[in-house]
Chains A and B, each alone.
Chain A
Amino acid sequence: MQPGYSRSRFLLIVAALSLAVAGAFIFLHVTSTGQSVSTGVDFEPVDKAAIERGRYLALAGNCASCHTTAGGRFMAGGVAFETPFGRIYSTNITPDKATGIGDWTGQEFLTSMRRGVRPDGKHLYPVFPYTAFTKVSDADIVALYAYLSSIPAVRQQATGNEISFPFNQRALMSFWKAMFFDEGVYEADISKSPEWNRGAYIVEALAHCGACHSPRNFLGAEKNDKALAGGEYTDNIPGGALRTWSAPNLTSAPNGLGLWPHEEVVDYLKNGINTYVETFGPMNEVIMNSTRHLSEDDVNAMAVYLKSLPAREEEYPADVRRTVLGMGRTVYNLHCGTCHLPTGLGDEESAPRLGGGSLVVQASNPASLINVILYSPQRPDPPLPTKRRKPMEEFQYLLTDGEIAAVASYVRSNWGNAGGEVTPEQVAAQR
């Protein structure tokens, strides 16, 4: 999934970075840029087992989703990431020597993963989530390198990034890294089970779940004290336009994964559907390209780890006004309740449940819920098997901002939900 940043913080970021520029240049004089990590890791010999293992790790890391455009050549890059700093394109990671990573040594590949530094010594932007990949083990990086070296080479020049000054100065990333980047392989917690540690390794390192599910600070770095407590990013809505999305809280918070039993987490990651929700929108590519291909043991381990996370909450919702609830109830009964049912519990043939466990409904930031109401949930392609009689319709033309805000507030305040009020302005921002 694509990492992103709050647009609302853009001006603040510009101001902060401008002030930081001077300090950064001073800092740069005393900090070296990219040097390969001296680990003495052995990248030879390459055998089929290593390649196969690397293929599996690439699935766990969901490399293809970010490095393959829709209809494009596998791993040849070109996927655009919209950030407040500009548009950044993923690179070609096929073994083509001219345009890909065919000229990279294993050690250079390891350095990019571990330290976020290219072979030419320049810093990579953290859109490439090396803040997570730094935790990947040497052995797994070796396997990944073996696999990526084995896939067909594609001659495709990387699209130039469109980043404005001063953000287009890669050297500044040195300053950013000093503040927000902790380099180092994942270290197992010996007080926890091997299963828990395996789950933590996948979630925190390979699958880089925090890239979307963790809130970020004003400089775009993940907030460690709120890790996996829900984030926001920019991605496509049906039709291709870009909008803000909110990723749910994965901790044990009341509006997070604490609502889901272990087996429901497993079902969702493995099948894209569980009692509470069906995958839609940006999560589709995570399920379809990554987690559903993982072994039962690994998915189980991820669930064990996620279910162990202590509750972390981004924001506490405000109470919903009674007038808003009244209007919301009317809109719900007319347009939602016939499928989601008055109980909010849904039905396997009509619609998913909205009460008692829908993370999307209760997310602190209602952006994804609003997107679903406005544009209908974008389902995976090809679609997952379903018993639903018909897909949800879009309401962007039928309902006003006020009506959508009211019904979203109603849904977020009923059946045990406590997501708080949604405003018409929040709906308008998603149109």
Chain B
Amino acid sequence: MHCEYPRTGVVPGRQLLIASALATILIFAGCSRQGDPGEPENSASPLRVRLMTGQQYSNTITDIFGADISNSVAPPLPPLARTDGLLASGAAFVGVTSDQIQQIQQAAATVAAKVVDEYHRDFLIPCQPAAQTAADATCAGAFLKEAGRLLYRRPLGESKVAGLVDVADTAADESSDFYAGLALALESMLISPEVIFIVDVAEPDPENPGRERLDAYSLASRLSFFLWNSAPDDELLQAAASGELHTREGLDRTVTRMLASSRLEDGLRAFFDDMMAFDEFASLAKDPMVYPMVTGATLADAREQTLRTIIDHVMTRNEDYRDLFTTRSSFMSMNLAALYGTPTTNGWVPYTFPESSSRSGLLTQVSFLAAHSHAVRSSPTKRGRAMRELFLCQNVPDPPPNVDFSALEDAGDVATARDRLKIHNTNPSCAGCHLITDPLGLGLENFDGAGGYRAMENGVELDASGELDGTLYDDVEGLARAMRDHPKLPYCLVNRMYAYGTGGPVSLKYDRAILDHFTGRFAGRGYRVPDLLREIAMSRAFSRVRPDLAAREISANASGVDASKLVVNQ
């Protein structure tokens, strides 16, 4: 059924009028967002105000003005605190200091200057001024109205546009330069809190009297940042304007288009990069004396290898998410080839690890192994902790502040990490946490601190056997299978993906039922990630607003930061 706004007009004859009215009702009824009948009745998500991430800022500038302009500035947004496993969730609890506003302003000035310079103005500005040395309200208005719609992610009101045109005209008159005036008006938009913050706006939900839903433009933004990690494009904003997004069929059509778009890869890469905490690569380094083959380029390629593996597996091939933890299919680059001990050619090429290899799944890729190791040696503790926190959404407490490392450091003449970590078992205060990390990490001890394979350590054959929450394994392949089959693995992805999509951490108090629902649907469809994306995007929970009281409670629980204070004075 094709859904569109019912057309109004003068139709002669009472019967035709009645027929028209009935048809209108049927159209609305047919297009009504009934949602999945299996979805929990009261599912909803909080109304949020969240800061754009640096990547979202760059993607937005790229999509509106081009990659060269985006690349000319470093994203000026402040670093985010990882919250409940995601940097993106930390964006819901961060303000901006006056120093950071200065950086945002400098980036805005640079972008604005680039947009109006002689190399870009002809194809970024849809008109030419009557004279370059004077104001031209008509031309300025045409540009600012359209650029503002894309930057603010909703149409600007007439008074807002008039105010921006006034800024452009005044500056143009003072400088005798139309483009300088236009740049100032654009700069003022680029530093607007409504641009750098993604602000959810609610409206009454006609299908649920007394409840609220995201307005169409907020829903468009939520969809776009979720699936594309960027601001909505023109077509998505048009779908919002037409009311299509609030119809079941219209939303389905939009989500289908977005999932088929090449921009989906940007969205998925951003999500998995965040979920796997790859931001830590920014400060990751290995001691060149111990690992001479590992350079910055090696580590950058390790990160890229894993992202390529994930995208190829979950998006291109649309395979079972869980198989990521056992797949031998990957990609290889020259920088990585030496570390993996395999020949390759220039550039990125598909590569399948042989059955005889111990490389089986994401846990055995250099990115995971190196990122969760020390600079000079492996760390079963770090690796075990990362497995639990990144992929199973299980929390491992930080060491107590008064922890005594001396026993571990003076472990004596021990050959392997397994022997060294036995020290943890001698102190119950240490054993509590290490019991849930070390056995997992020891399963990866056949890989050194840089991710290179080794059969022995200090002349002693390594023992990779262990247990993951009741599943015993003898080697790394067994560990990979145990992780692949862990019941919390898909649940954790659902948790993170729903949090990522709705812009903040989940609250099990409110979201447990919807997470169980998504997990069930995810399983029912063979753990296909695109299906999960669709399920979340199409859900009532995604667009329906949870009452304020609950949202405030979650905000208070997740962080001491008051999200309503967007700008913080230092």
Contact = CB atoms under 8 A, between A and B. Distances in A.
B432 A342 contact: yes
Contacts of A339: 397, 432
A347 B428 contact: yes
A397 interface: yes
Contacts of A398: 508
A342 B470 CA distance: 16
A335 to B, nearest CB: 8
A338 B433 contact: yes
Contact of B429 (A329, A333, A341): A341
Contact of A337 (B432, B469, B470, B512): B432
A334 interface: yes
A329 B435 CA distance: 11
Contacts of B435: 333, 337, 342
B2 interface: no
Interface in A318-332: 326-327, 329-330
B317 interface: no
B428 A334 contact: no
A338 B396 CA distance: 8
B400 A342 contact: no
B429 A337 contact: no
B431 interface: yes
B436 interface: yes
Contacts of A327: 470
A327 B470 CA distance: 7
Contact of A342 (B394, B397, B431, B507): B431
Contacts of B388: 334
Contacts of B436: 333-334, 337-338
B397 A338 contact: yes
B344 to A, nearest CB: 40
Contacts of A340: 432
A60 interface: no
A162 interface: no
Interface in B498-545: 507-509, 512
Interface string B429-458: 101110110000000000000000000000
Contacts of A397: 507-509, 512
Nearest to A346: B428
Given A338-B433, A338-B436, A343 B469 contact: no
Nearest to B430: A341
Given A333-B436, A397-B509, A347 B470 contact: no
Contacts of A338: 396-397, 432-433, 436
A181 to B, nearest CB: 46
B250 to A, nearest CB: 34
Nearest to B509: A397
A349 interface: yes
B512 A341 contact: no
B428 A343 contact: yes
A389 B396 CA distance: 15
Nearest to B469: A330
Nearest to B471: A330
A75 interface: no
8 contacts: A338-B432, A339-B397, A342-B428, A342-B431, A342-B432, A343-B428, A343-B431, A397-B509
Given A330-B469, A397-B508, 16 more contacts: A330-B470, A333-B436, A337-B432, A338-B397, A338-B433, A341-B428, A341-B429, A341-B431, A341-B432, A342-B428, A342-B435, A343-B428, A350-B400, A389-B400, A397-B507, A397-B512
Interface of B: 388, 394, 396-397, 400, 428-429, 431-433, 435-436, 469-470, 507-509, 512
Interface of A: 326-327, 329-330, 333-334, 337-343, 345, 347, 349-350, 389, 397-398
A-B pairs, top 6 by smallest CB distance, nearest first, are A397-B508, A338-B432, A341-B428, A330-B469, A341-B432, A343-B428
